Structure 1
């Protein structure tokens, strides 16, 4: 193997750029296009038995697309897959599994109403696992061997997400996989569950499995990687050693030095600007997803809502804007009751809203950047003259916002769909922050955004706080919560587990995210023990 080293512009650890040897599993020149867009561009990657190879990159860098090609979910436009020197073409996942490749997906490929054993039997054309007794025995054997306790007869829908993920891993191992792909596996886990997963991955590595760990989280990469490969915009941009600093890894991901720290002074909260009292919200199926939630946010503070995805945070944010009508409870902003108000009335009352899914709810893709910047004020002066639009004012506003928010675009008359994820998010934030606000609700504001844009977005959120706005920030990223929060509200299964200080130990926050009350979580954290949650009795 040839190694080439360079020193980063910031003078930190050297980044190792390396050519990989033949052997094990290799991807050679893989290219995948979707129309005119090249998602993966001439990528070479190798995975050796007995190592954890981290594939690092921001969302949209091409990591998952590359692994979907490896697993037979996508057909490459160019390149080949080589295992032990022999070229393979996988037309579907079954062929990939037969060649010794397993994949643990970010979104679990499990049937909720089936048992653990039945899920292991799915897709079998023959063999012992078609026999329920043999399959059940196999579950117990693998569960014991890899210290992943799972009850074979438990229904998937009754298991917490951490245990469901164990089932995904056991499915791959039941096929005698030699090479395992973990695709963003920590996205839905508590910190304690992440630690458990890391131990499982290390155990598999020590047994000789080759593991690809896909992530965009620098902390996790440095904790577990044997080798690190970084992708950006569909290409391999370099390789790094596990001891590389987070700053160096971030620089390799973005292409420039990035300040990962959030500079903010202590908050100086004023009067309460948002009050939520005993709020209850149902999902379309009628299930209660926000259950008696109460809190207040003062002007000049950031209250972060933390929790594992799917515990009611999304519905809570939507209820703030009026996208979802609460069953009961009260939402009050600056003394005005908005519980049953429409989104239009809520916006007019002074609420800014950054939606969780910008592609669906944040903008109109075929509208220009300039048009998207005034979506919530298109009928207001100076952007409207009677029933007509004032294009001079609209374009002037767009040029100002483009500079102020560092929106990287050739022209404000370009469609917003032509922008990168980070620049789309800047447009949304620019639109919301370009008018006086009482409250800003920001849901997953940096999801799918590169670390350079995150640096900018965090700075603007803090500036909005310092102008006296009450900021309600919903995030599943604990690093973001710890960096931005003045207080942290933890949700679990639609309820508030507690509201705590931002310097609360990570292990305590993790236990609270699993439903453990603050006092109990603190005791367990101090004792250095794992706190079993009620749901984990299945194991």
Structure 2
């Protein structure tokens, strides 16, 4: 890609970027949220047209008019925010646009068999018959990857492919990527996980504020070097915090039972309490009831039985607005589906929890002057990078969308802040910022419940860690008394009492 420039009005998302990818290499693309990485890859995959610049494949100039052209040229993209149709099955989503048909009728069984075989070949096992709306985000990521592999692309673009995968799934994906490049395929990997770049990438191109800064051999640089190239300053990988001083119980969960969409119990007699002035992290492999638990706590899903108490008052099965008005903030795991209305302006999104109250409205009439003024204040306070509060939320980068949601929730001063996957797909600078904000809430005496698939994040931010397995809390540990190995065993289903016995046994053996 030579001198690629992409303008949106007067804004240059890409400004003369150069990118050269070799056959049979894994080439990382690194940059802050909003640096222009996804825009550049959307141009390569045919979703956008460049304002200027040229693209060459094997030395031949090509014009990529749309995704179909890209597919024909052997270019496929796995998007960070999934391009899936919820009401379709897994197999229908994967074959969409390349369907096996006979006389215009979809050969459904053939498609399902092909998908099942493909998923087994690449170690991405999934039921081809299940509806996408009924599977977890981690499983939806697998569907996106399989969709690209099904089309037989020679250049595969992975946009944050490991953001929602478990450590084991990440290892499997890295193994798959290595096998693909052995076949002569090229992979462009957009990721903010510097350790992944160090582990799997051959070369890395760094983009900052729409311009390509440098392309380096990964073996010749450190993670700290890459981080500083990306943000243009020194970055801390550890969140500074004083020892927690928890006070009274704020949120209490007693024998909670919750079902998923198909009527199967996924939260099973779960008990947990969170105190003021602490961060409680929930660690677990995706699909063990985390999403349903958070939905039940925030009124988005019905509890079958059990009780939820806020400051000793029962809030079980109350409406979401009632729960938020009593002092619960919620940063959802899927910012596009549940956190924002993408077509609305940034200002309107920042007012979603308060638009019906003064001064945002009077007697049912919205005051856009006050809504926009409040948004400008939050944009400045939370460093949300945007041209204006009046741009649609969909125009912001993922990191700035997340900052907007966090600004909206924290500004209401909730007693309990429930955050799920708060740094999914974010760069190290944005992660550093959001972690500081969570610790600030804890230091102000608020209770914070953090759900994350990132063990590093759980260990970095939490004061206590509750491990969930098969819908139950199997152990609660103090962060300064545990490690990844112990958490990994608990996540796999070991009871905390069993781990203590193992430790005692090991000591007596010694």
Which TM-score bucket, shorter chain as reference? 0.7 to 0.9
Task: Provide the residue aligned with 1:480 in structure 2.
Answer: 457
1:151-190 equivalences in 2 (<5 Å): 155=128, 157=130, 177-190=153-166
Whole-Å Cα distance in 1 between the matches of residues 459 and 304 of structure 2? 32
Whole-Å Cα distance in 2 between the matches of residues 385 and 103 of structure 1? 47
1:50-449 equivalences in 2 (<5 Å): 50-91=24-65, 93=67, 95-106=69-80, 107=82, 112=89, 114=91, 122-123=98-99, 148=122, 155=128, 157=130, 177-242=153-218, 243-282=220-259, 288=265, 290-307=267-284, 311-358=288-335, 365-366=344-345, 368=347, 372=351, 375=354, 378-379=357-358, 405=382, 422=399, 425-426=402-403, 428-434=405-411, 437-447=414-424, 449=426
Indicate the RMSD between aligned Cα atoms, in angstroms: 5.1
Whole-Å Cα distance in 1 between the matches of residues 39 and 283 of structure 2? 29
Task: Provide the residue aligned with 1:45 in structure 2.
Answer: 19
1:218 and 1:249 in contact (8 A); partners too: yes
Matched residue of 1:375: which SS?
coil
Whole-Å Cα distance in 2 between the matches of residues 212 and 399 of structure 1? 36
1:188 and 1:308 in contact (8 A); partners too: no
Whole-Å Cα distance in 1 between the matches of residues 139 and 413 of structure 2? 46
Q: CA deviation at 1:195?
A: 1.5
TM-score, structure 2 normalization: 0.74
What's the CA shift string for 1:39-79, capped at 9, x where partnerless? 44443211112321111234444434433433345444543
Deviates more, 1:187-196 or 1:363-372: 363-372
Q: Which runs of 5+ in 2 are unaligned?
A: 504-510
Number of positions where the alignment pairs a residue of Structure 1 with one of Structure 2: 487
2:31 and 2:37 in contact (8 A); partners too: yes
Q: Which runs of 5+ in 1 are unaligned?
A: 1-26, 527-539
Matched residue of 2:156: which SS?
strand
What's the CA shift string for 1:339-373, capped at 9, x where partnerless? 13333433343323334455666578447499849
Q: CA deviation at 1:482?
A: 2.0
Whole-Å Cα distance in 1 between the matches of residues 155 and 497 of structure 2? 40
TM-score, structure 1 normalization: 0.71
Task: Provide the residue aligned with 1:506 in structure 2.
Answer: 484
